[in-house]
Amino acid sequence: MPPRNIIIIILTAVISYFCYEKARRDHYAGLFAEAIDHIESRYVEKVEHRELFEHALNGLLGKLDPYSSYIGPQEFSKFKEDLDQEFGGIGIIISPNMESGHLTVLSPVVGTPAHRAGVMAGDTILKVDDESLEGMALRAAIERLRGLPGTEVKITIERGGDKETHEIAITRAIIKMLSVLGDTVNPDGSWQYFLKDHPSIGYIRLTTFGEHTVDELRSALKSLPNQEMKGLILDLRSNAGGLLTAAIEVSDMFIGDGAIVSTRGRGGAVQSVEMATENIEIDEDLPMAVLINGFSASASEIVSACLQDHHRAVLVGERTWGKGTVQNIIPLEMGKSVIKLTTATFWRPSARNIHRSKDATEEDDWGVRPDDSYEVKLTGEEYGKVVAARNRADWGNSALQTAEGSQESNALEEPTSEDAVAVPEVVTSDETEAADENFEDPQLRRAIEYFQDQTESASSSAEAA
């Protein structure tokens, strides 16, 4: 057969295949459009075409896995703010007051519009732009506090025991959320990156992996007096993850060579292997401990698994969540909305699996486990006490000084600031409160014991020499 005829046959086959695929897709698209037409014309109540479309996309992506989803224009704005670590707002840490139904200011963030306008820890927000917050859902209240930088919002607050109300007009600005925190706060709002009761042990908390996390962590590490340090604690507990690139760069700060993480696509094909670049930010001989728990996920698991596999840190706490998938953000409508689609899985340097499948058992290999003898499980009550103790350390002093009438703000800067998060309200009796003041975080204590053991071991070796 002449070569020309062979080429014609091949082209005909290829064109036929694509025509078949297009016809198959058009058939399903037509079926969807037909169903939409029936709903719009015959459903008992009037429905918006856009609403039906968004519900359909949510259903389509939601059936794939728990992490693929459609993010509409309004939700995408909030999603982007979380990753960018900044938003338009006034700059306050808030908590719902279960008793009054309003919001309580735990602290204004130093240097923000709320701080400059005189908002104080302990203030109760009654209204936003004359609209009562009583009984309003937290997210709805948050949306009213946030807004475009340069716009004005009026809040009505109640201060002190006299129930006197005040109206404060505040011009919104860009609020930058920190993702790297320490143990205690200086009066100017900066963090101390070492343990208050153990100043020779560095302590750094990562609350998320955002656009500025790497720079924040690098700055925190440079502030540590390396020559006086006995160890460094990296607290990744309840860190749900964030940007893959941030997790890779954070890991790269602590290891000199080797793989950090690999990603695999459809069929298990390796897509990429991320390698260390020798950009170490801290002495490789400095002992490290990483705190993890069941709410440490995704990027947190990449970092903790990498440091464990390279024997760079001991892992203390509880087994992590087990989210080992990568989601790509794919824009729709010229970037107004997006789909978050799972496109790959990520694997440890040891090539072990991290992702917990829906039918996985406790015995299966998923997540990141603490090192032998360093597993410290918390009861629900203990976990609540850990959170309460952390909240007291972060915000307690500020609230106390304000209640005493001091006009000198000791407000604390918190990355999930203002309307970004609700801090659980802890209601206790005076007796329980006094007892909880002496509560010691069991997982943190175990990490401290690790450094003490390392110091004793080094001393014994020196004496033997």
Catalytic residues: 298, 309, 323
> What is the torsional sign of CA 158, 161, 163, 166?
negative
Rounded distance between C-alpha atoms, residue 256 and residue 267, angstroms: 31
Beta bridge partners of 270: 264
DSSP string, 172-230: -EEEEPP-EE-SEE-TTSPEE-B-SS-TTEEEEEE--B-TTHHHHHHHHHHTS-GGG-S
Read off the amino acid at residue 37: D
Rounded distance between C-alpha atoms, residue 444 and residue 375, angstroms: 12
Q: Among 244, 268, 213, which residue's Cα sits nearest to residue 323? A: 244
Rounded distance between C-alpha atoms, residue 27 and residue 17, angstroms: 15
Rounded distance between C-alpha atoms, residue 356 and residue 369, angstroms: 13
Distances (CA, A) of 166 to 101, 122, 400: 18, 13, 20
SS3 content of the chain, % helix, strand, coil (to 5): 40, 25, 40
DSSP string, 99-127: TTSSEEEEEEPTTSHHHHHT--TT-EEEE
Specify the pairing of strand 124-128 against strand 103-108: antiparallel
Strands (E), 288-324: 288-292, 314-317
Q: Among 274, 234, 146, 169, which residue's Cα sits nearest to residue 447? A: 234
